[in-house]
Each structure stands twice: as structure tokens, then as C-alpha cells.
Amino acid sequence: MSSVGLVDAGGANLGSVRYALERRGAQVRMVRAPADLEGVARVILPGVGAAAEGMRRLHAQALVEPLRALQVPLMGICLGMQLLFERSEEGGVECLGLLPGVVRRLTPALGVRVPHMGWNRLLALRPSPLLEGIPAGASAYFVHSYAAPVTSDTVAACHHGGLFAAMVQRGPLCGAQFHPERSATAGDRLLRNFLEIEHP
């Protein structure tokens, strides 16, 4: 199994993501500086917390431009997926800009709590290698107050007061708003699919 660079963006889920990857046989390298990206076959950007703090940490580690210039598959998880977009309403911060769109706060309503926390069903919108082996209507575990819009890059959506992007893919660029490391069989299969995704 080729090596996976796991970006230390300060999220509390870092250890659990690493364990989930190692359980799948991946050789994980922690990424805290640009040099740590050299030679890895794919990169995962996890994250929990606020967009502004996540971007501040990436800037402090001089990782923003290297992540934008990656030539290997990249997957953002939870906040990490939100950081792939142009900007976030959370703190009005400019993000990595790898995918078009603005991350916006979920809208509370009767019976709709924010943050969105717990299990929810995935609605597949288009074919993707990320969905291979994940049954229709599978559930995943979410913890978030902000979400990316449904666009042509959205592979699967989820409904919580309205539709939002739950999984995205544009070529080797991927993302999951939910936590695959906490999403049982569906999450484990997503990580497997990302580790096996073909790239030039």
C-alpha cells in the first residue's frame, strides 16, 4: 500500500482518521510542513472546528500553496472538505479555492437542529468511484454547522433542513462532509475507495 499524507490541521479527529487508515493497511505520514508531502501517493485533509482557525493553521505551516498545487489525489474530511471550496461564511475566510462555491451555515428550523449531529442518509447524485460498494441510502455520521452547496461536483447529498453536499469529487479531488472514521461500514468503504482511486 502506498503512503498517505495526513495533514495535521489541528482537528480532534486526527488520531481516529489515522487509525482507520492504518486498519486498511495504509502507511500514514503526518504532514506538518511542505517537505512532508514529498513522495506521498495521496493526501487526506481532516478537520474539526472553525474554518478560520483551520486556514490559519494551514497558512502557519506554509501548506496552503502546496495543497493547491498537489498532483496526487486529495480528500478533505468534515472541515477539511469545506476548506476545499472558495470561501466560508464561518469567519468570512478565503479557503483553498480548489472547488467553486461558498460554504454556508445550515439553517435551523422546526425539528432541524444546528449543529447537525448524528446519523443521516446519503443520497447518491451521480456515479463516482467513491461510491463503489456503498449501498443506496447508506447512513453516515455527521457533526457540523456549516455545509457546502450542491454543485456539479457533488457525488452524494444529504438533507438537513435542505440539501447540502455530503460527498464531492472532481477528478483526483475528493471530499466527505461526514466522518468516515465514525461511519461504520460505509465510512470504511469510502476510505478504501479513496485509497484505491486511480490517478495518473
- Which of these is catalytic: 158, 179, 196, 199? 179
Buried-state track 146-162, b at ≥16 Cβ within 10 A, e below 16 = bbbbbeebbbbbbebbe
For residue 126, what is its C-alpha cell?
451521480
| Catalytic residue status for 132 | no
Contacts 24+ apart (CB under 8 A), 132-137: 132/189, 132/193, 133/189, 133/192, 133/193, 134/186, 134/189, 134/190, 134/193, 135/186
Measured CA to CA, the distance from residue 45 to residue 17 in angstroms comes to 10
Say which of 78, 95, 158, 174 is annotated catalytic: 78
95 in catalytic set: no
Q: Is 181 known to be catalytic? A: yes
Dig out the grid coordinates for 50 from the structure: 472553525
Residue of 22, 159, 181, 199 marked active site: 181
Q: Which residues are catalytic?
A: 78, 179, 181
